[in-house]
């Protein structure tokens, strides 16, 4: 391989992951979308548009991991089609504020889906998570839960959010965690803590820096999505 060929090879996700972690297929389209949202020069409107495209892909993949059951329907040609339907009710739970960016992608795929919210903030000095607020559907223990947060750094916020769901009676195997970018450290901590919980991530990055931010990352997702 020449130096020119090596330099032109796109960066793809780390693919080695625990068995309960699914990394999106690293297609040229997906890598192109990530290239846009990682670029510091990308303006907010484009960041939102292309992030939403990735979120939609993540939600569609997450739905593939929900249980289904056989069903049959009659078609307009008076024939029977043997198909599938989802088993059980679902809801989304966003980890505020950045996780709220993923709510519309879930609504686009699941009409009238119920959405809960959990506010967990990270202490910038200790990097530890602290719970401030939660509002969840009363019947959440009877639903499959899609937990939404675009970035997984140390895993502290996501782990605390799952602990909140478990305390509300949600079986851990009924929770799916969807996120755009993860660190290897966060993935390992999360998967070891909850080996029966499925994680769907778009990209596992190189790691964390001294400030515990994902690198190369894309900066503060919430700021770029809502503010900049």
Q: What is the pLDDT of residue 109?
A: 93
163 is catalytic: no
80 is catalytic: no
The tens-digit pLDDT sequence of the chain (228 residues) is 444 444 578 788 887 888 999 999 999 999 999 999 999 999 999 999 999 999 999 999 999 999 999 999 999 999 999 999 988 899 999 998 899 999 999 999 998 899 999 998 766 676 677 888 999 999 999 999 999 999 999 888 899 999 999 999 999 999 999 999 999 999 999 989 999 999 999 999 999 998 888 999 999 999 999 986
Q: What is the pLDDT of residue 7?
A: 56
Which structure tokens are listed for 224?
């770029």
Strands 143-148 and 175-182: parallel
Running DSSP on this structure, what letter comes out for residue 216?
Answer: S
Check if the beta carbon of residue 159 is closer than 8 Å to that of residue 127.
no
Q: Which of 27, 71, 126, 139 is catalytic?
A: 126
d(C-alpha 114, C-alpha 146), whole Å: 11
Domains of the chain: 23-227 (3.40.50.2020)
Check if the beta carbon of residue 213 is closer than 8 Å to that of residue 151.
no
Q: Which of 108, 114, 122, 163 is catalytic?
A: 122
The dihedral through the CA atoms of 170, 176, 177, 179 has a sign that is negative
């Amino acid at each position: 391989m020449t130096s020119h060929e090596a330099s032109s090879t796109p960066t793809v996700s780390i693919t080695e992951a625990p068995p309960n972690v699914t990394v999106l297929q690293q297609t040229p389209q997906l890598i192109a979308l990530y290239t846009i949202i990682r670029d510091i020069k990308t303006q907010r409107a484009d960041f939102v548009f292309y992030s939403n495209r990735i979120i939609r892909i993540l939600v569609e993949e997450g739905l593939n991991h929900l249980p289904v059951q056989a069903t049959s329907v009659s078609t307009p040609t008076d024939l029977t089609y043997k198909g599938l339907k989802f088993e059980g009710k679902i809801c989304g739970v966003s980890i505020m504020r950045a996780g709220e960016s993923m709510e519309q992608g879930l609504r686009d795929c699941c009409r009238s889906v119920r959405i809960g919210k959990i506010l967990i903030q990270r202490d910038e000095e200790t990097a530890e998570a602290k719970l401030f607020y939660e509002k969840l559907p009363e019947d959440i223990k009877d639903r499959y839960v899609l937990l939404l947060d675009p970035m997984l750094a140390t895993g502290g916020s996501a782990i605390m959010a799952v602990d909140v769901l478990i305390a509300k009676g949600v079986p851990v195997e009924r929770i799916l965690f969807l996120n755009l970018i993860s660190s290897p450290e966060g993935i390992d901590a999360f998967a070891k803590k909850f080996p029966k919980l499925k994680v769907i991530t778009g990209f596992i990055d190189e790691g964390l820096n001294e400030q515990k931010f994902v690198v190369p990352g894309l900066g503060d997702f919430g700021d770029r999505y809502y503010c900049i």
